[in-house]
Protein backbone atom coordinates (compact mmCIF):
# COMPACT_ATOMS: atom_id res chain seq x y z
CA UNK A 1 0.00 0.00 0.00
CA UNK A 2 2.88 2.39 0.71
CA UNK A 3 3.99 2.26 -2.93
CA UNK A 4 0.48 3.15 -4.14
CA UNK A 5 0.31 6.04 -1.68
CA UNK A 6 3.74 7.29 -2.76
CA UNK A 7 2.64 7.31 -6.43
CA UNK A 8 -0.33 9.54 -5.56
CA UNK A 9 1.91 11.82 -3.50
CA UNK A 10 4.34 12.08 -6.41
CA UNK A 11 1.44 13.01 -8.72
CA UNK A 12 0.20 15.89 -6.53
CA UNK A 13 3.67 17.10 -5.55
CA UNK A 14 4.18 19.36 -8.64
CA UNK A 15 1.05 21.37 -7.77
CA UNK A 16 2.37 22.01 -4.26
CA UNK A 17 5.87 22.80 -5.51
CA UNK A 18 4.44 25.36 -7.93
CA UNK A 19 3.33 27.34 -4.85
CA UNK A 20 6.62 26.88 -2.98
CA UNK A 21 5.53 23.92 -0.87
CA UNK A 22 5.88 20.17 -0.81
CA UNK A 23 4.54 17.05 0.88
CA UNK A 24 6.46 14.25 2.56
CA UNK A 25 5.13 10.77 3.22
CA UNK A 26 6.04 10.02 6.83
CA UNK A 27 4.31 6.69 7.39
CA UNK A 28 1.60 4.32 6.22
CA UNK A 29 0.39 2.20 9.12
CA UNK A 30 -0.87 -1.38 8.90
CA UNK A 31 -4.41 -0.20 9.62
CA UNK A 32 -4.50 2.28 6.71
CA UNK A 33 -3.52 5.55 8.37
CA UNK A 34 -1.38 7.78 6.16
CA UNK A 35 0.78 10.36 7.92
CA UNK A 36 1.97 13.29 5.84
CA UNK A 37 4.10 16.36 6.50
CA UNK A 38 3.51 19.52 4.51
CA UNK A 39 6.73 21.48 4.08
CA UNK A 40 7.92 24.75 2.61
CA UNK A 41 5.22 27.32 2.02
CA UNK A 42 2.54 24.66 2.64
CA UNK A 43 3.83 23.96 6.15
CA UNK A 44 2.77 27.32 7.54
CA UNK A 45 -0.05 28.18 5.16
CA UNK A 46 -3.48 28.81 6.71
CA UNK A 47 -4.99 26.80 3.82
CA UNK A 48 -2.83 23.72 4.54
CA UNK A 49 -5.71 21.82 6.15
CA UNK A 50 -7.86 22.47 3.09
CA UNK A 51 -5.02 21.33 0.80
CA UNK A 52 -4.56 18.20 2.86
CA UNK A 53 -8.26 17.27 3.12
CA UNK A 54 -9.78 18.41 -0.17
CA UNK A 55 -6.74 17.85 -2.36
CA UNK A 56 -4.40 15.14 -1.17
CA UNK A 57 -6.85 13.08 0.90
CA UNK A 58 -9.46 13.06 -1.86
CA UNK A 59 -6.92 11.84 -4.44
CA UNK A 60 -5.54 9.21 -2.05
CA UNK A 61 -8.97 7.79 -1.23
CA UNK A 62 -9.86 7.59 -4.94
CA UNK A 63 -6.65 5.81 -5.90
CA UNK A 64 -6.05 3.71 -2.77
CA UNK A 65 -9.34 2.59 -1.18
CA UNK A 66 -7.44 0.87 1.67
CA UNK A 67 -6.58 4.30 3.10
CA UNK A 68 -8.71 4.82 6.22
CA UNK A 69 -7.49 8.24 7.35
CA UNK A 70 -4.96 10.98 6.66
CA UNK A 71 -3.07 12.65 9.50
CA UNK A 72 -0.86 15.70 9.28
CA UNK A 73 2.44 15.46 11.12
CA UNK A 74 4.17 18.69 12.17
Q: Find the CATH number of the domain harbouring 42.
A: 3.30.300.130
Q: What is the pLDDT of residue 20?
A: 94
- pLDDT one-digit tens code per residue, 41-59: 998 888 888 999 899 999 9
Q: Which domain holds residue 65?
A: 2-72
Number of domains in the chain: 1
> What spatial distance separates the first Cα and last Cα of the chain, rounded to whole Å?
23
**What is this structure's pTM?**
0.90
- Long-range (24+ apart) CB contacts under 8 A made by 12-20 are 12/55, 12/56, 12/59, 15/55, 16/40, 16/42, 16/51
Q: What is the pLDDT of residue 28?
A: 97
Amino acid sequence: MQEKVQKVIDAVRPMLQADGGDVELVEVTKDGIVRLRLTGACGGCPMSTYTLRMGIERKLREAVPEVKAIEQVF
